[in-house]
Amino acid sequence: MTLEADLGEAIGGRHVIVDPSVTASYETDWTRRFAGRARCVVRPVDTQEVGSVLQLCSRHGVAVVTQGGNTGLVGGGVPTGGEVVLSTSRLSHIGPVDTLTGQVTVGAGVTLSALQQAVRPMGLDFGVDFAARDSATIGGLVSTNAGGERVMRYGTMRQQVVGLEAVLADGSPLSRLEALPKENTGYDLVGLLTGSEGTLAVVTAVRVRLWPLFAHRSVALLALESTSAALEALAALKPRLGSLEAAELFLADGLALVMGYTGLPAPMAGDHCAYLLVECADRVDPGDAMLQALDEVSTLVPGLVDIVVGEDARSRASLWRYREAHTEAINAIGVPVKLDVAIPHDQLERALRELPAIAAQVAPGARTILFGHLNEGNLHVNVLGASDHHGVTDVVLRYIASLHGSISAEHGVGRAKTEWLSLSRSGAEIAAMRSIKAALDPGQVLNPGVIFPD
């Protein structure tokens, strides 16, 4: 029997897709940077079916790429050629919300926004949030240890995962969903699988931590003369505002690009070097506290030159749009080199100043758009108009390593950065990671070519 026939018997023929007009959307990432033909796309409905798929693929010696919402940015969720794509779209069950523990178990294919909508009516919220919320899935968030816009208050995905269910390459299930608050028996496999980018197991369900819903929000956009001033403003705001949960940075050229793409008017008069979007959330309206803190900070930080406050839900949403539309606006212009890096705060001003010239060393005339999550020193480096993507990646990542930064802050290594893994991990660390991979997936069935260089 062919693999396709075996798979059809295990999960139902209509969930084994071979029609190229249907498989096409699973074969290219949404930035159009990574693409490859899938042997077929399978859509198992539960952990048991995922186990059957992996058992069969292992037996036939065919590799598997797991795909959630296909919003990944490092090519870890699309095939390179000949793999089975395992879509988590039917793993979409949302369990009952446990308000006592503040936890819920959801299928790996549940989108971030579906989770938010399920828990918010119960007075609870989820700690990770970012612009791709309508497509990105919880399984994908776990696999990449996603970060996003609320890390300052809630941490990354790793801090939200209290348990999970997953299937190893040979089809064996691992179930750690009970999630007792105290549980110290042996290795932390849940922690190991979080951030493993589909290379060690297929995550099928996740038990996540929930937080009290803060229904009242205040947003302000700060204009600054420099990124050091943005850092000074953030350092002054943090001790004054316990309800602060977002501090997002963008620059003048990114704002201009977003305004051209969205048709939004300028948020304030004049051109400024840097913009810092801050948001507070609380049980009661944090507006007055935020205004008072901003007032104090503007006398302390001379480089803070203007402030616009979002008075109502509509103006708050449009202030967020200036930041969140960066990704779409960049994509609308062309296929960017997208590099997600973290830089120590004391090197950030320098990096923001030097990065365009660093990219231009191999891509003269290219346009470098920088934005990111200021509190974590997490910059998204987007280079448009470069023909040599490999060359740009090489100079930028080497430069970041020279500043003692990380080559991957929140998007993962994927296929995009394998060659540069040793810039952020020692030989001993890479050897230990390879041993774990070899022990759990000796046949190299799960996402071969991701994280490790060949």
Residues that bind ligand MLT (CB under 6 A): 130-131, 327, 340, 380
Q: What share of the chain is helix, strand, coil (3-state, %, to 5)?
A: 40, 25, 35
CB of 378 to ligand MLT, least distance (A): 8
Considering beta carbons, is residue 118 or 359 the nearer one to ligand MLT?
Answer: 359
Torsion of CA 153, 154, 157, 159, to 10 degrees: 130
Q: What is the phi/psi pair of residue 348, to 5°?
A: -70, -45
Nearest to 339 by CA among 80, 135, 75, 85: 75
CB of 138 to ligand MLT, least distance (A): 17
Considering beta carbons, is residue 104 or 152 the nearer one to ligand MLT?
Answer: 152
Considering beta carbons, is residue 50 or 250 the nearer one to ligand MLT?
Answer: 250
CB of 374 to ligand MLT, least distance (A): 11
Considering beta carbons, is residue 6 or 410 the nearer one to ligand MLT?
Answer: 410
- CA dist 211 and 82 (Å) reads 42
Considering beta carbons, is residue 193 or 381 the nearer one to ligand MLT?
Answer: 381
Instruction: Give the number of C-alpha atoms closer than 13 A to the C-alpha of residue 209, restricted to the C-beta side.
Output: 14
Instruction: Record the tokens describing residue 408, joined without a space.
Output: 């991957």
Considering beta carbons, is residue 4 or 129 the nearer one to ligand MLT?
Answer: 129
3-state SS of 126-165 is CCCCCHHHHCCEHHHHHHHCCCCCCHHHHCCHHHCEEEEE
CB of 67 to ligand MLT, least distance (A): 18
CB of 385 to ligand MLT, least distance (A): 17
- CA dist 243 and 214 (Å) reads 9
Nearest to 453 by CA among 402, 429, 417, 407: 417
CB of 134 to ligand MLT, least distance (A): 13
Considering beta carbons, is residue 11 or 128 the nearer one to ligand MLT?
Answer: 128
Q: Is 74 within 8 Å of 414 (Cβ atoms)?
A: yes
Q: Give residue number: closest CB to ligand MLT.
A: 327
CB of 325 to ligand MLT, least distance (A): 9
CB of 147 to ligand MLT, least distance (A): 7
Q: What are the beta bridge partners of residue 224?
A: 274, 304
What residue type is 176 in one-letter code?
Answer: R
Q: Is 136 within 8 Å of 67 (Cβ atoms)?
A: no
Considering beta carbons, is residue 105 or 137 the nearer one to ligand MLT?
Answer: 137
- Measure CA of the first residue to CA of the last residue in the chain; give whole Å: 31
Considering beta carbons, is residue 30 or 38 the nearer one to ligand MLT?
Answer: 30
Instruction: Record the tokens describing residue 276, joined without a space.
Output: 């810092």
CB of 330 to ligand MLT, least distance (A): 7
Give, in degrees to the nearest 5, the angle at Cα 144 between 338 and 280.
85
Helix (H, G, I), strand (E, B) or coil at 84: strand
- CA dist 453 and 60 (Å) reads 24
